[in-house]
Structure 1
């Protein structure tokens, strides 16, 4: 995502940092040969329903993001007690899952089984081995959940404010626990946490206080709202002050933890997050191979276009130099800084029209996409992202978050706009919006399996968005203009180099100088974009590989299906069938579509 990059997630596809499950028991027969497959499948269906309810009981923040609603008033305190409870209940859930003979489940249920098990195993690994709750202070920020409640279009005002009132009770304890958890953090995550928590004051604002005073809350609740509102703001400011002092110590003593996690942790995280048939090292090698192939495609287009733009100049023998010169010449065609957000708003209907005219996929007119300026509490991680509703509140708006350029100086803004030039801005909107993230996440909410929608696979989500970029151009978007294809390949190199960069930084100790060289000279990116990507790579691990991993698996699968079905292949049917299984790993969607 470039989503996004949505810390993605942001989809806000944001998930609870501390995952736990209750230890309540369920009535279920153990799976022995005497039990029929039909009975086992019914038992698993019952188990899945109960599992989801237990999941939300122990993860009210996560349930809020998917729109469940029942536990929105609860703010979990991320202390040692909650972690211990989470681990114990996760072990209990694994024991329940182990009572099923996976071979007796139907193909659809097998996928759910593997998704649940991956999530549970990952939770234990996160708590006991990865331990980002100790070294990533940006894990702790209450603003997003409060904003989601406040911004709901479908819930009554008084109901929203009552939930806010109840959640605010635990804000001071929440930040006290956060401070107690932090031990030798990275400098980069500390700085991100300061910036994003400062954005929380855009949520705890005078406007919110005024809304409460005008509401139908009782006089006593209004008074309590003011009290808790003030203590919440104090708690946020206290956390910012704590981190600011910590930042000074980390710099003065050079005592920060490295943001590099090393090969062993990286491979483990890749296996949990991507759920690919490849190891991280194998995917890194595939990316190196694709980089060479795409660069050759760019050489051919540059050779074709050179006489059009440089008729009086010989094309340099250094092909990378020639590509860079042509891209730099074309990139000056872009909107002005103040028109960046308005231009994105203008392009969305154009994309919708093309998709409908080409009959590429059905778009749901009842699921609105709203382009908005990125909220303050989400800034500092990605310039563009999608915040999508969950399966329980699927009628809510999907927000396309775009950070305006008014905070940039003229030189920085020009560099940024050259990166997101006339052609690439369109590709960005395909990726983030239509038919990329926005369309895929609408379909995910319609999946008959809640497990697949809830336990979304980042590589499939990001891979779909990257896949649609090429698919749209293949279907004629941009009228097969070679300039559009050149810029597409430049953009695709970004996806490929995301994988190379992330692996090289986290495993091979790539320096910033080497990273910027890869992005600027190897992928023809502007310095502002390269600097931003380096920063992002220091604030995440593995996620940057999800784009390329998912894209390659989806595109290769589609080509296999085209060969297999011949004249019976329908692109629209492929798209809608593929998306019907929720945000599942591609390796699980393949057998489901074959069935």
Structure 2
């Protein structure tokens, strides 16, 4: 997702701040008056014993429903991204007062849920409780330990929820414009709070913040003025809307100027905060985000071993293909060079920069037809999938991503975002097109669309557990997308072409290298030269792709490990279920049962599937 998703893989607080501007994996908060705080300031303070007794009496379902209701008051932009528009007119001010409200929320509900007897819950509720506890602990950790609000200016961006309000037909246009107008009121205060909060920014995050906030201006441009002119709002309402719109534009531009000034000064002194977070914070973040029962270091060591195994498989396939593509030439002794030469030949077959997006769109029906033919999964064709150019306020992070509707607005469009390669220079475009050649484009579309992210997120919205949908686990979401690549090829997609399999192993090698790269940058402190060697020479990536990944790895932490972590867990679960069910194992039934649990961590899904077997 970054998902752009980004959304699943970042913390709820960071989501609350950045979904305001860029979605994933990627939102803002609450009413600033005291009535929106977790506990009403006018109410008498409850004792710890009172809270525990009330929670125990209330029961899990009622308590979790109350928590979610307060969650959306505290994080209205996140609510909008989930399709919950009742709070869409609200915009939190990301200041110390707001963060205190978030801490109070986390600590209060952690205490209330601890009063419940977990052993008395059924497996589904017990697994929901695990997700809630992790979420609440992580909220507190984000504010008190990780503190990205002090050094990541890219967290402050109001654009994304505004774009959703403007472009999602959840209500008549006039109503949405009034909501848009209400929300606009607090944009200047929002950016004032951002400037007052930031201390010493990290350089990559500072550059991204400038880029994406410049892109945010497009949300407040000609399109919204055109819709305002066509609306049924009164002249007075239109005048007020225009005044608020101008104030919001001014606030965004002033924030951009502020960031540019900070960047110029810090560039002279090189006094940036280090974007590397170090081993202790890395392992803590890994525990909260990945949730697979092992440490970041253990996954890193497993990835190192898998890299060598993938090189072995690729060497074998390169040897098989060598006579076809180099009939009059002896292969080099260095196996990485040999693999690279065969891949380079295959990479010559690609779209043009003008046709890349159209080729992506063209392939989607082919994937749908294959899934149906092989009966791998039931697809819901009533859920719209729209391939679009990545909006300006979301660029600078990945070549492709998915924006999916939340459980409150299941019928809304899912957007498959594709970077505007046609706008790139010829050299950069050529490098990216070689990377996403006709073979890897197929793997990309499986991953992002059918039966990857798009399909999984449609299923997630049907899950009876709202908690599993909204407190989703990034490793499960990304792991499923990676798993489907292998599953589709195993089912015969591509007619077992050795060319496609070789490219697939290159893609899977990228997943493994993502984990190695992330750990070595954030914990071991490797530089760009070492990272480029890992990706280009050992991972056979084109230079443009590797440069983009280096940038992404300096902007995020841990998220790049989610692909490999989730994939390995899903594959292990499939093997376990095959062994337990024997001849009764059905691949389609496994897929649909697995997806029915929403975005839960794979170990939680495993527990639920085993409980059903018993």
Indicate the TM-score class for this superposition, using the shorter chain for normalisation: over 0.9
Whole-Å separation in 1 of the counterparts to 2:557 and 2:178: 38
Is residue 273 of structure 1 aligned with residue 284 of structure 2? no
Distance 1:173 1:12, change over 3 A: closer
Distance 1:527 1:2, change over 3 A: farther
Whole-Å separation in 1 of the counterparts to 2:453 and 2:136: 26
Q: Which residue of 2 aligns with 1:494?
A: 510
Is residue 166 of structure 1 aligned with residue 182 of structure 2? yes
Q: Which residue of 1 aligns with 2:407?
A: 391
Note if contact 1:379-1:403 (Cα within 8 Å) is conserved in structure 2: yes
Distance 1:124 1:18, change over 3 A: farther
Note if contact 1:5-1:381 (Cα within 8 Å) is conserved in structure 2: no
Q: 3-state DSSP class of the match of 1:278?
A: coil
TM-superposition CA deviations, 1:35-66 (whole Å, max 9, x none): 9xxx9798111111111111111111111110
Runs of 4 or more, structure 1, over 2 Å off, are 1-21, 23-32, 39-42
Note if contact 2:24-2:401 (Cα within 8 Å) is conserved in structure 1: no
Q: 3-state DSSP class of the match of 1:399?
A: strand
Q: 3-state DSSP class of the match of 2:199?
A: coil
Q: Which residue of 2 aligns with 1:301?
A: 317
Give, in angstroms, the shift of residue 207 of structure 1. 2.1
TM-superposition CA deviations, 1:427-448 (whole Å, max 9, x none): 0000000100000001111110
Q: Which residue of 2 aligns with 1:578?
A: 594
TM-score of the aligned structures, taking structure 1 as reference length = 0.96
Q: Which residue of 2 aligns with 1:343?
A: 359
Q: 3-state DSSP class of the match of 1:401?
A: strand
Give, in angstroms, the shift of residue 314 of structure 1. 1.3
2:430 alignment partner, one of 414, 438, 459: 414
Q: Which residue of 1 aligns with 2:451?
A: 435
1:234 alignment partner, one of 232, 237, 250: 250
Give, in angstroms, the shift of residue 270 of structure 1. 0.2
2:219 alignment partner, one of 193, 200, 203: 203
Equivalence map 1:98-497=2 (5 Å): 98-497=114-513
Give, in angstroms, the shift of residue 261 of structure 1. 0.2
Whole-Å separation in 1 of the counterparts to 2:57 and 2:497: 52
Whole-Å separation in 1 of the counterparts to 2:144 and 2:216: 30
Note if contact 2:6-2:26 (Cα within 8 Å) is conserved in structure 1: no
Distance 1:290 1:446, change over 3 A: same
Give, in angstroms, the shift of residue 89 of structure 1. 2.2
Q: Which residue of 2 aligns with 1:80?
A: 96
Note if contact 1:18-1:86 (Cα within 8 Å) is conserved in structure 2: no
Higher relative contact order (CA 8 A, sep 6+): 1
Note if contact 2:428-2:544 (Cα within 8 Å) is conserved in structure 1: yes
Distance 1:30 1:565, change over 3 A: farther
Note if contact 1:135-1:184 (Cα within 8 Å) is conserved in structure 2: yes
TM-superposition CA deviations, 1:275-311 (whole Å, max 9, x none): 1111000000111111111111101111111111112
Note if contact 1:165-1:228 (Cα within 8 Å) is conserved in structure 2: yes
Give, in angstroms, the shift of residue 21 of structure 1. 6.8
Deviates more, 1:506-515 or 1:13-22: 13-22
Note if contact 1:473-1:480 (Cα within 8 Å) is conserved in structure 2: yes
Whole-Å separation in 2 of the counterparts to 1:594 and 1:31: 32
- List runs of 5+ in structure 1 lacking aligned partners: none
Give, in angstroms, the shift of residue 23 of structure 1. 2.5
Is residue 70 of structure 1 aligned with residue 89 of structure 2? no
Deviates more, 1:83-92 or 1:578-587: 83-92
Whole-Å separation in 2 of the counterparts to 1:520 and 1:29: 60
Note if contact 1:136-1:189 (Cα within 8 Å) is conserved in structure 2: yes
Q: What is the count of residue pairs matched by the alignment?
A: 590
Note if contact 2:384-2:413 (Cα within 8 Å) is conserved in structure 1: yes
Q: Which residue of 1 aligns with 2:74?
A: 58
TM-score of the aligned structures, taking structure 2 as reference length = 0.93
Q: Which residue of 1 aligns with 2:16?
A: none
Q: 3-state DSSP class of the match of 1:298?
A: helix
Q: Which residue of 2 aligns with 1:16?
A: 27
Whole-Å separation in 1 of the counterparts to 2:505 and 2:57: 46
Whole-Å separation in 2 of the counterparts to 1:2 and 1:483: 29
Give, in angstroms, the shift of residue 5 of structure 1. 6.4
Equivalence map 1:488-567=2 (5 Å): 488-567=504-583
Q: 3-state DSSP class of the match of 2:220?
A: coil
Note if contact 1:21-1:93 (Cα within 8 Å) is conserved in structure 2: no
Note if contact 2:28-2:77 (Cα within 8 Å) is conserved in structure 1: no
